[in-house]
Amino acid sequence: MLNEGGLKSALSEYLGPDSSLSLYKVSNNVYDVIAVSNIFKNLTTTERTDLIRNWVKEFTEDSTQLGFISLYTVSEAISLDLRIDELSKPELKLQTWFDLINSDKVKVQLSPDDNAKVVSFYSFKGGVGRTTALIHVAWILAQRGKKIVIVDMDLEAPSLHQALGPLKITPKKGLVDYLYERVNSLNDDEFDIQIADIIGEVASPKGSIFLVPAGNVTTDYISKVDDLRNLRFNDEEIWKKFREDLTDQLHPDIILVDSRTGINIWGALSLLQIADETMIFMNPTPQNTEGITSIVQSLYRVGQSPFIILSPVISGKAGKERALREWKKVNSVITENSLLEYSDDNDDPIMIPFTTEVALSDEYPNKSYIHLYNDIANQLDEETDKHILIQLLSSHERWRVLEDLSFSSIDAKEEKGTSVKALFQKTADFERFLDQATILIKGKKGTGKTQLYWTAINHLEIMRELAQSRLDRVIPISGHGPASGHPLRDDFNYINEELFQSKSSWESFWRGYALYRLIINKEAGLELPRNKHFEDLRNIFKKKPKSNEMWTSEHTKFVLSLSTNNEVKLLIRDALEQASKKLYDKNMYIWLLYDDLDQDIPEYSLIQKEAISGLFIFALTLENMQVRTIRPKIFLRTDIWHRLNFTNKSHLIGKDVELKWTREDFLKMALRQAQRSPLFDELISKFSPVVDINQASEETMEKALELLWGIDRERGRRSKKVSRWVYERLTDANGSTFPRALIYLLEGARNKELEYQDLFHIQAPKDRLLRAQSLNEGLLKASYARCDELRQEYKELDDLGFFGYLSQLKQITRLEPIKSWWSENGTGKFSSFNDFLDYIKLMGLAAEYDNEQWKFADIYVHGFEMNRIGKL
C-alpha cells in the first residue's frame, strides 16, 4: 500500500505547479482531500470529484479510498480567502523572532477569555514617538471613562515611569521582579511579590490609569534582566498568570504594552505571546521601511494584522508625500498577505506630525497637542468593541443566529400591522410627505414610493402614530392604484381614443374618476348633494357598476360618461366643491393617492405624457377652485416626471418631495431587518441596546450593527467602516440610494455566509456575523437587481443597446468611448452629445469625475459588468 507521503507527492504533481493540497489520513486506507488547482476549471462539483477519485483508484491500484473531498480552482480559493497550506501544518508555540521566521504560516489564537484587550505599541527603531503616543492615548481613553493599564515591556531601557511624572500611588517593585521570582520559584504558593506590589496609579483628573513599571534600574535589576534574557521564558504559563493576576486585580478595559524596539526577546514576547493587537510605529524612511516590512510579513504569517502608524511625519506636502510613499511599500506586503487589492476603500494611514513642543516635553501628556493622538485612541476604542463582540459571538451558536436572520422588503399590502410597524422606516422626507401642500412624491424605482402608498391605505394607524397627530384628521383613499380595482393599459388606450373622439381632456377624466372614487369609498363618507341642481348627476351614479373589487369595461365606460359630457363635467366640478365644504365643516381632509401610473399607462408613449400631465393639471385645478380639503398625492418615478411638459408645471415647485435615503435611514432599516431575529435581538441588547430606533442617532445605529457586519472592511488596515461602505456602494451618481438594494445586499450576504458553514477549514470571523467576502457577494446581487430596474426605467436606452455596451468600459473613463457610442447609436434619440450626458447624469448612472473623466456609480458597475480597478 502506498504511504501518505508518496500519495500526496504524486497527487500534487498531477494537480499542477500552481496547486495547493492538504491530505488527511482518516484510517488505514481512507484519506480526506482539500485541493486547489486550475485543472478543475469549467468542471462541475461532481466532475471534479470523479476526476480525483478515478485518478486515486488508477494510481494506487489498491483499496485506498477518499472520504471528504473539497476541490477549488485558484480563483475560487482567492474569493473564499482559502489558504490550503495553513491546514496541514501543526500549530507551533512562538516565543522568539527566530521561532517566528521558521514557523512557515502557522495560525495562532491570541484572544483570551477575559475582557481586557492587550495592545502592544512597537517600533523597529527608537525615537519615533512610540512611548509618547502610548501615554497620550492612555490619557484620552481614560478621559472617555476607560480603565487603562500601561505595562512597560521595554525592559532594557525603561522610561515610562519617568515620562509620566509623579505617581499618585508608587509601586514597591516592577515587572522584572515579578517575572524573575516566578521563573526561579519551585513553589507557586510562596511568592513574596504579588501583583498589587507592581502596580502604580497615575494622577488623572478623570478616568483611571494604572502603571506596571519595568522596575528601578539598579545593579540588581540589570542582573535580573540578563538572567531573564538567557532563560528565554519557555513557560508561557508565566505570561498567562501575569495577565490573569492583572485582570483579577484591576478589571481593566484595555492594557497598553510599551514594547522593546528592534528584533529581540522582549519585542518578540510583547508581540507574539502577550498582544491581541499590535500598533507598529514607523518612521517613514527607507531604513525603517525595510525592517517594518519584514516584521509585518512575519506577523501576517501567524495570523496577526498589525496596525501601522507613521511617526513622526515632517510637516508640509513633501513630508506627507514621502510618508505615503513608504507606507505604500509596507501596504503592498499587507495586500499580498491578505489576498486583497489595494483600493480606494482605504483611508490614508494615521500620521503623527513632528512637533518640537512634544519632543522636548519633560512630562506627558502635553495637553496642547493631545488631539494629535485622537485617531489612535479611536482605533483602540473600536478594537475594544471588537473584543466584546468576540466574547458575545463565542458564547452563542454563530450559525444558529445566521440561520435565524432573514431580510426581505416590507410588504404593506400583505403583512400584518405588527410587521409593518416593526419594519417601516420613517425617513427625513416623511415630514414633507405629510405636508398638505405636497402633491408630487417622486423617486427612482426602489426608493419606497409604493410602500408609502400601501402603508397609508392599509395601515393608517401606524402612519398616524409616526406622524404624531398630523394625520388625525386625514383619510387616505386610493385615487388610482393597486389597493382597488382600477384601469389598466388596455383601458387607458381605450380612454385615450374616446377622449380624442369627444374632444375632451385628460383633466376631465381625472376629475370624474376622482369623484367616482370619493363616492364609492365608505371611509370617505361622502355622497352627492340631494338638491335639484345635482339630480342629473345622481341619476348617472345610480347606473354605476355594482361591484368595485375588479375593474371591468363597464367601469371604464361609466367613468368616461362622467368625463365626456360638458354639462356633467360642470356638475362634477360643483360636486367636488360641495364635498370640500362638507369636509371643511368637519375639519377633515381626504387624500387621493395615485400609484402604479408607470405600470398601468403605456410606458414611453404619448398617452403616458398626456394622461399624467392631465392628472397634475387636475391637481392644480383643485387648488384654483379653492378645493383644499381634497388633496391628490401622486407617486411618480423621477424619470417620468422629467419627461413631462405641461402648462404651469413650474407651479408644483415647493409642492413636491423626492424620496431620498440618508445614511442614518439606511442604518436604521438594516437594524430593523436584523432585529426580526430574536437571537440577534438578544445579542444586540447585550452589546449596544437601542431603546427607540426612530430617535436613535447615526452613531448609535452604527455601533449596534457592528455585530452584524463588523466595524472596518479589513482588519489591520485603515479602511472604510462597513456602514459607510454599504451606503456608498448602494448610492448612485447623483446621491439617490435604494432601500430595496439594501435588502438584496443583506440577504445575499447572509446566504453566502451560510455556505461557509460546512467549510470547516475556512476560519469564520469572530467579531461579526457577515465577513467581507459575503458582503461582496451581497453587493453583486444588489447591483444586478438595481441594473435590471434601471433597464426598466430607461427602456429606450436599453433598446439602443447602451446598457450592454457598458461592459466594454472602465468605471472611470474618458468621454471619447461614450461619445463614439452616441455618434453611432444615439443621435436619433438625443439632439446633442451634451443632451445625452445630461440624461446620464439625470439617471444617476455616472457623473463628472476629474479632467474630463466620468465615473460610473458603484451600484451599477458590477451589474453591468464594467471593468473596475481594485476590489468590491
C-alpha distances out from residue 698 to 144, 667, 693, 705, 794, Å: 19, 7, 10, 11, 34
| Dist CA 421 CA 173 (whole Å) | 61
The answer, yes or no, to whether residue 872 has pLDDT greater than 50, is no
State the DSSP code for 396. Answer: S
User: pTM for the complete prediction?
Assistant: 0.67
Query: What is the CB neighbour count within 10 angstroms for residue 373?
Result: 26
The answer, yes or no, to whether residue 63 has pLDDT greater than 80, is no
Confidence of residue 137 (pLDDT cuts 50, 70, 90): very high
Q: Does domain 4-90 have CATH number 3.30.300.90?
A: yes
Question: What are 821's three cell numbers?
Answer: 457610442
Mean pLDDT across 545-569: 91
Map out the domains of the chain as residue ranges.
4-90, 117-392, 429-658, 663-861
State the DSSP code for 737. Answer: B
Q: What is the pLDDT of residues 579-611, one digit of tens each?
A: 999 999 999 999 999 999 999 998 878 999 999
Q: Give me the helices (H) in 651-759, please.
A: 663-674, 678-687, 698-704, 706-709, 722-729, 739-754
User: Do the Cβ atoms of 809 and 819 come closer than 8 Å?
Assistant: no
Q: What's the confidence (pLDDT) of residue 267?
A: 55
The answer, yes or no, to whether residue 99 has pLDDT greater than 70, is no
Confidence of residue 649 (pLDDT cuts 50, 70, 90): very high
Mean pLDDT across 718-740: 88
Higher pLDDT, residue 460 or 22: 460
Query: What is the CB neighbour count within 10 angstroms for residue 588?
Result: 15
Q: What is the pLDDT of residues 319-348, one digit of tens each?
A: 888 888 888 888 775 554 443 333 444 557
Q: Tell me the average pLDDT of the chain.
A: 84
C-alpha distances out from residue 697 to 377, 556, 729, Å: 22, 50, 21
| Most confidently predicted of 181-190, 412-421, 783-792 | 783-792
Q: What's the confidence (pLDDT) of residue 294?
A: 74
Q: What's the confidence (pLDDT) of residue 100?
A: 45
Confidence of residue 109 (pLDDT cuts 50, 70, 90): very low
Q: What's the confidence (pLDDT) of residue 554?
A: 95
- Those residues whose C-beta lies under 8 Å from the C-beta of residue 625, and which sit 6 or more positions away, are 573, 576, 577
Confidence of residue 558 (pLDDT cuts 50, 70, 90): very high
Fold that domain 117-392 belongs to in CATH: Rossmann fold (3.40.50)
Question: What are 106's three cell numbers?
Answer: 502557522
| Dist CA 736 CA 764 (whole Å) | 34
Q: What's the confidence (pLDDT) of residue 227?
A: 76
Q: What is the pLDDT of residues 821-856, one digit of tens each?
A: 999 998 988 889 999 999 999 899 999 987 778 999
User: Do the Cβ atoms of 495 and 487 come closer than 8 Å?
Assistant: yes
**Containing H/E element for 40?**
none
The correct CATH number of 429-658 out of 1.10.287, 3.40.50, 3.60.21, 1.20.1280 is 3.40.50
Q: Are 117-392 and 429-658 equal in CATH topology?
A: yes
Say what percent of the chain tops pLDDT 90.
Answer: 47
Phi, psi of 398 (to 5 degrees): -55, -45
Question: What are 263's three cell numbers?
Answer: 528584533
Say what percent of the chain tops pLDDT 70.
Answer: 86
The secondary structure of 101-160, three-state, reads HCCCCCCCCCCCCCCCEEEEEEECCCCCCHHHHHHHHHHHHHHCCCEEEEEECCCCCCCH
Give exposure, 799-825, as e/b (b: 16+ Cβ within 10 Å). Answer: ebebbebbeebebbbeeeebeebbeee
3-state helix, strand, coil in the chain (%, to 5): 50, 15, 35
Confidence of residue 187 (pLDDT cuts 50, 70, 90): low
**Radius of gyration over every alpha carbon of the chain, rounded to an integer in angstroms:** 35
Mean pLDDT across 350-373: 86
